Chain A
């Protein structure tokens, strides 16, 4: 019964942790080249446990779910307990649930609900395959055991991240995942690029974490708790629910716990007691900032492509499946908070759309296969946020669905690129190899399946999930159009219908229903454009790698061949799943119904929106056509001659401009017969100086015009895309460089002024000491005299003071 569930909940994160400890302890000496065994076994065990957990949760949620959703919380031990740490504003206390006096108490809790168990099975499955793949890929590397320790630690952190039932612990593991990713990206730390990339990923994430931390503080001061769940419903490990004791009286801690609602617990969702207005918006935007950091959303997307420096399987693990999805998971978990604040929801959608477009544009021109995939990941994550940003059940479930299917085909693509990279001797520049389809047949076929899935071609996985997002955008636009037509002018009114209890005095009026309708309509078209680009760049990379004349770089040496079974096996498994899992889940409606039983999605305003699982034929047809169009264009450009590509890229690069910038060309005009004729004629009538002056003026004008044209050269569409819209340079100029300068300045001040003052203080006591040492002369009469004098001085002071 419960004990079985509890055991599974503990096993899923416990096994990777045990493996991490084991490899860390025995890796360097005993295990050495066998270091992957404990990790692979533990991850496989963890995967089986999470599958069992999934089954258990599915059965229980079907039995008890219904209204309010299903969740089961297991409290392991109390981590922090500061009684009476906060007194809530009495006005807020009612909305917060429970008494106004709050204990700052954090229990280490694990939770099982549809959302968590889905994430768990996905994470552990991909991790297991990546670990198997890495066993082949990393063979013979220095620090083999270290790599597997990091992997196990990473999986532990990630499983805990999705398992914990408390914002503070979520933050802890959020950071732990960041640390692991830092270690993994910088795994080849002697390589300066790798070390710098690890640092960059870590620092950019700090910006997001700063927002997340602020959001936590705000949640604590407004909601008075950081738990997701109601504390009264948490079960201890032995199985019984920790109900508050009946005999408790007065203001005891257990008394204060009664009626205390978790932040996203079913009870609170049922009561719909969420902050709207300014505070609610602030919380949501700060949470979104945190999600932007971890999920590489604009404007914090810059770290992810650099993270390609890590060993390939790591890239796959981090980017495709796990770490970047943490942000999506967190926003999904906080859906009720976002529902209370429509502007925040629109922000999520806009950020997602902007990221999807920007990253898609950048991916069009990259030469590095892994970078194409990295930007594609950023773009697809933007897609997920687009889905979440609709705020409808349809969209959120679609976002989670895309997360789920994307994990499979993106892991497939990353592992495939790893296989290519392995064969090419760590060369990943697509200009240096081509036509590999005969050399690497398995990789070729599996990579193609991944590409088709990513491009969204039916009936592969990517099609279903992407289509669901596009459809949800379409529906949302439609919904707001209807709302504005009905005369409901503001979404605030819309929200207040369902939740009369919330103080919506400062309810949002920034966005009218009509504006929202226009926004979602625009995002719908944007999504289609991005879908087109996705299909194009995916197949561009595919054709460049596997078609054309067979070329192999010199670094590949003699091992330009298909990869070993430990690498091909995971590819094959992933290919099958990438092809089939989306369609299977879509047609059985399994995913949508299951995930929507998670407490965050099973109640509140979200429920009032569209039901998930409906299939929109027109939208599906449109997106299919768009995807096929992208593939066809790529095929036309990259399968045939290269002339069209050259022409297109030169057009996009504004190459004509450079001819205009040529001063020589202006100067050559002088030699044109008709100009020379005019000049000669003018000379004869004595106006030679005039034509000369005109000519010089023209030359001067040409020079003046050159500068803006040169700028135009740098911001040509091709260059913008190729140089990633100069985001790195912009950050360098606006953030990194000023801070470095400031740092140098402060270091100087610290060294010469602060340290100087401190050293002065440090020298003072010793100087004083040497002064006093002279009193210690070793003469008994002097000592006796000092004692007597001391006494007399005390008495004299007393008499002089003449006090009491």
Chain B
């Protein structure tokens, strides 16, 4: 089935990115240092963003009002739209951070490869089709292997890349296996059907209804119900996605790979797969298996294990990127809190609340991560490469701006008020506590009370090592070592690139801005959450009916476009 023209127009930003990436690859082969190509490396994201916000401007309002619609393999909903814009912003920031780390002759390849991963994430954001979803996920993974290898050529990088490559392949295999069960149950690759055409969601819902009735009547059906396969599908798909999230027990690669990668690549690893994981989890599990015990129990358990393990192991780390690797594991645990609330909820409002909290947390996490790694990159560019926490000592004095942004990121990670991370944690815990105290969830309250308590304890543990980083920067004086690059006259004059600086500052401003004015972010995340929550609540027998989403202020869309 060839995609018609309408579908293509819906993918204009992605097409721009892919064409630009192609141009970069081809053009870079002949004139790797051309200024036009360097501009294209950043400009494509801006063009994509302009297209997204400009050409599809009118659609934002209708998305808020109508909820989700489906156009073939694409789902047109607020979640997709929001995440695509967020992805483009992230792409721009990452390209700014990475523009100087790669060697000159590989610059264009580097930029093009990064652009492909961004396009991949945008596909995932909009996929309504198993194959498209999987291709999107692979479009993130495969260029990442190349990127990791291009960043630096030494033994540890090679080892890290190899590890990531093998384990990523394994996880893709698990995911694909899970997807095959989904396909086997439904007989279609479309996730959400439109009109008369049934999607996986509708078929699964009716299978589930049939199984429930059969269980209620205690009758043995003549043919085996395919609902039996649901646990396998859910667990295998989740296993594949948990790798992207770096959740326990699929987390092992993260610290090793972060340590081996450059700071810029670590930023990419920390943000892109995680966003893809959250999106795919929302589309594949939350929307299709609402209030399914196996799914949410698994999510709660994995969440508790993940954040505890991540935080506890991070306490010991002396290597900054390794520490942030464990920290990213811990944050996956927090993201899973929101997802498990969304999974267990049996009404739209609560499901939307859990999703909105997750999305807000994701955005806060993404900006703080990029800001933190950008600050590390900037320090490295200014002749002060930082591998160990002790090396940060005295940064508050010598590089106040970089140290400031890094501190802002750490505060945000720790969930200290006035920074974005605080509101993220606040929203997550609020949704959890609502679940724990809600009258209708009596038997479940134990699960979610435990989740909230463990989350709070973890926030306290996390603060310890985040504040250690801040303390090293501001309250320890730099060791006077004659051979260190910082004290070397020539190296001390080196300054970081403007592009890294601008990305770093932009992230700092975004993190503080989201913390000071969380309303805009929450509103956008709320609409996105509602758009998915509505699709998940489809009655089993009448598939095509989508409940109306609460009408909302039209200006929300405009305010959202500028600040995700």
| Residue in chain B with minimal CB distance to A767 | B312
Min CB distance, A795 to chain B, in Å? 5
Q: Digitize A765-804: 1 where CB-to-B-CB distance is under 8 Å, 0 elsewhere.
A: 1101110110110101011101111110011001100011
Residues of A close to B253: CB separation below 8 A: 783
A783 and B167 form a contact (CB under 8 A): yes
Q: How far is the CA of A377 from the CA of B220 in the complex (A)?
A: 96
Q: Is B72 an interface residue (CB 8 A)?
A: no
Q: How far is the CA of A783 from the CA of B256 in the complex (A)?
A: 11
Residues of A close to B292: CB separation below 8 A: 804
Contact check: which of A766, A780, A787, A798 meets B294 at CB < 8 Å? Answer: A798
* Chain A contacts with B in 448-491, Cβ cutoff 8 A: none
Contact check: which of B238, B250, B294, B309 meets A772 at CB < 8 Å? Answer: B309
Min CB distance, A82 to chain B, in Å? 18
Q: Is B235 an interface residue (CB 8 A)?
A: yes
Q: Is B282 an interface residue (CB 8 A)?
A: no
* CB within 8 Å for A787 and B232 given contacts A766-B316, A768-B312: no
Residues of A close to B167: CB separation below 8 A: 780, 783-784, 787
* CB within 8 Å for A765 and B311 given contacts A783-B163, A787-B174: yes
Q: How far is the CA of A480 from the CA of B163 in the complex (A)?
A: 98
* Chain B contacts with A in 187-220, Cβ cutoff 8 A: none
* Chain A contacts with B in 368-413, Cβ cutoff 8 A: none
Residues of B close to A804: CB separation below 8 A: 292-294
A776 and B294 form a contact (CB under 8 A): no
Q: Is B183 an interface residue (CB 8 A)?
A: no
A803 and B256 form a contact (CB under 8 A): no
Contact check: which of B170, B235, B236, B293 meets A784 at CB < 8 Å? Answer: B170
Q: How far is the CA of A799 from the CA of B170 in the complex (A)?
A: 23
| Residue in chain A with minimal CB distance to B292 | A804
| Residue in chain A with minimal CB distance to B247 | A790
B250 and A803 form a contact (CB under 8 A): no
A765 and B461 form a contact (CB under 8 A): yes
* CB within 8 Å for A795 and B163 given contacts A766-B316, A787-B250, A804-B293: no
B316 and A794 form a contact (CB under 8 A): no
* CB within 8 Å for A776 and B316 given contacts A787-B167, A795-B232, A798-B231: no
Q: Is B255 an interface residue (CB 8 A)?
A: yes
Contact check: which of A768, A786, A788, A795 meets B252 at CB < 8 Å? Answer: A786
A798 and B235 form a contact (CB under 8 A): yes
Residues of B close to A783: CB separation below 8 A: 163, 167, 252-253
B163 and A803 form a contact (CB under 8 A): no
* CB within 8 Å for A787 and B171 given contacts A765-B311, A769-B312: yes
Q: How many A-B residue pairs have CB under 8 A?
A: 75
Residues of B close to A772: CB separation below 8 A: 309, 312-313
Min CB distance, B248 to chain A, in Å? 8
Residues of A close to B163: CB separation below 8 A: 780, 783
Q: How far is the CA of A111 from the CA of B249 in the complex (A)?
A: 67
B235 and A794 form a contact (CB under 8 A): yes
B316 and A773 form a contact (CB under 8 A): yes
* Chain B contacts with A in 144-177, Cβ cutoff 8 A: 162-163, 166-167, 170-171, 174
A787 and B316 form a contact (CB under 8 A): no
A769 and B313 form a contact (CB under 8 A): yes
Q: Is B46 an interface residue (CB 8 A)?
A: no
Residues of A close to B314: CB separation below 8 A: 769
Chain A: interface secondary structure? helix
A787 and B170 form a contact (CB under 8 A): yes
Q: Digitize B242-270: 1 where CB-to-A-CB distance is under 8 Å, 0 elsewhere.
A: 01000011101101100000000000000
Q: How many residues from A make CB contacts under 8 Å with B? A: 26
A790 and B162 form a contact (CB under 8 A): no
Contact check: which of B235, B252, B256, B461 meets A791 at CB < 8 Å? Answer: B235
Min CB distance, A779 to chain B, in Å? 9
Query: Which range holds the interface residue count of chain B?
Result: 20 to 34
* CB within 8 Å for A766 and B315 given contacts A787-B249, A790-B249: yes
Q: How far is the CA of A38 from the CA of B368 in the complex (A)?
A: 47
Q: Is B239 an interface residue (CB 8 A)?
A: yes
Q: Is B492 an interface residue (CB 8 A)?
A: no
Q: How far is the CA of A795 from the CA of B316 in the complex (A)?
A: 32
B250 and A790 form a contact (CB under 8 A): yes
A778 and B174 form a contact (CB under 8 A): no
- B166, B253, B313: most-surrounded residue (chain A CB, <10 A): B313
Q: How far is the CA of A791 from the CA of B250 in the complex (A)?
A: 9
Q: How far is the CA of A791 from the CA of B181 in the complex (A)?
A: 15
B312 and A795 form a contact (CB under 8 A): no
Q: How far is the CA of A786 from the CA of B255 in the complex (A)?
A: 15
Residues of A close to B162: CB separation below 8 A: 780
* Chain A contacts with B in 735-777, Cβ cutoff 8 A: 765-766, 768-770, 772-773, 775-776
* Chain B contacts with A in 43-63, Cβ cutoff 8 A: none
Contact check: which of B255, B298, B309 meets A794 at CB < 8 Å? Answer: B298
* CB within 8 Å for A787 and B239 given contacts A780-B166, A798-B231: yes
B170 and A795 form a contact (CB under 8 A): no
Residues of A close to B256: CB separation below 8 A: 776, 778
Q: How far is the CA of A788 from the CA of B174 in the complex (A)?
A: 9
Min CB distance, B465 to chain A, in Å? 10
* CB within 8 Å for A784 and B316 given contacts A795-B231, A803-B293: no
B249 and A786 form a contact (CB under 8 A): yes
Min CB distance, B72 to chain A, in Å? 32
Q: How far is the CA of A795 from the CA of B314 in the complex (A)?
A: 29
Q: How far is the CA of A358 from the CA of B162 in the complex (A)?
A: 90
Q: How far is the CA of A768 from the CA of B314 in the complex (A)?
A: 11
Residues of A close to B243: CB separation below 8 A: 787
Q: Digitize B289-303: 1 where CB-to-A-CB distance is under 8 Å, 0 elsewhere.
A: 000111000100000
Contact check: which of A769, A778, A790, A799 meets B315 at CB < 8 Å? Answer: A769
Min CB distance, B217 to chain A, in Å? 16
Residues of B close to A789: CB separation below 8 A: 249
Residues of A close to B313: CB separation below 8 A: 769, 772-773, 776
| Residue in chain B with minimal CB distance to A784 | B170
Residues of B close to A787: CB separation below 8 A: 167, 170-171, 174, 239, 243, 249-250, 252
Q: How far is the CA of A768 from the CA of B170 in the complex (A)?
A: 29
Q: Digitize A15-29: 1 where CB-to-B-CB distance is under 8 Å, 0 elsewhere.
A: 000000000000000
Q: How far is the CA of A137 from the CA of B311 in the complex (A)?
A: 62
Residues of B close to A778: CB separation below 8 A: 256
Min CB distance, B476 to chain A, in Å? 20
Residues of A close to B170: CB separation below 8 A: 784, 787-788
Min CB distance, A781 to chain B, in Å? 9
| Residue in chain B with minimal CB distance to A803 | B293
Min CB distance, A757 to chain B, in Å? 15
* Chain B contacts with A in 307-325, Cβ cutoff 8 A: 309, 311-316
Q: Digitize A279-295: 1 where CB-to-B-CB distance is under 8 Å, 0 elsewhere.
A: 00000000000000000
Min CB distance, A568 to chain B, in Å? 55
Min CB distance, A790 to chain B, in Å? 4
| Residue in chain A with minimal CB distance to B249 | A790
B249 and A795 form a contact (CB under 8 A): no
A791 and B239 form a contact (CB under 8 A): yes
Residues of A close to B311: CB separation below 8 A: 765
Min CB distance, A789 to chain B, in Å? 7
Min CB distance, A409 to chain B, in Å? 53
Q: How far is the CA of A788 from the CA of B253 in the complex (A)?
A: 14
Residues of B close to A766: CB separation below 8 A: 312, 315-316
| Residue in chain B with minimal CB distance to A770 | B316
Q: How far is the CA of A576 from the CA of B97 in the complex (A)?
A: 78
B312 and A765 form a contact (CB under 8 A): yes
- B163, B249, B250, B461: most-surrounded residue (chain A CB, <10 A): B249
New A-B contacts (4) at CB < 8 Å, excluding given A769-B315, A772-B312: A772-B309, A772-B313, A787-B243, A803-B294
Listed A/B pairs (22) with beta-carbon separation below 8 Å? A765-B461, A766-B315, A768-B312, A769-B315, A772-B312, A772-B313, A780-B163, A783-B253, A784-B166, A784-B167, A784-B170, A786-B249, A787-B239, A787-B243, A790-B249, A790-B250, A791-B235, A791-B236, A795-B232, A799-B231, A803-B294, A804-B294
For the complex of A and B, the 6 pairs showing the least CB-CB separation, nearest first, are A790-B249, A783-B252, A769-B312, A791-B239, A798-B231, A765-B312
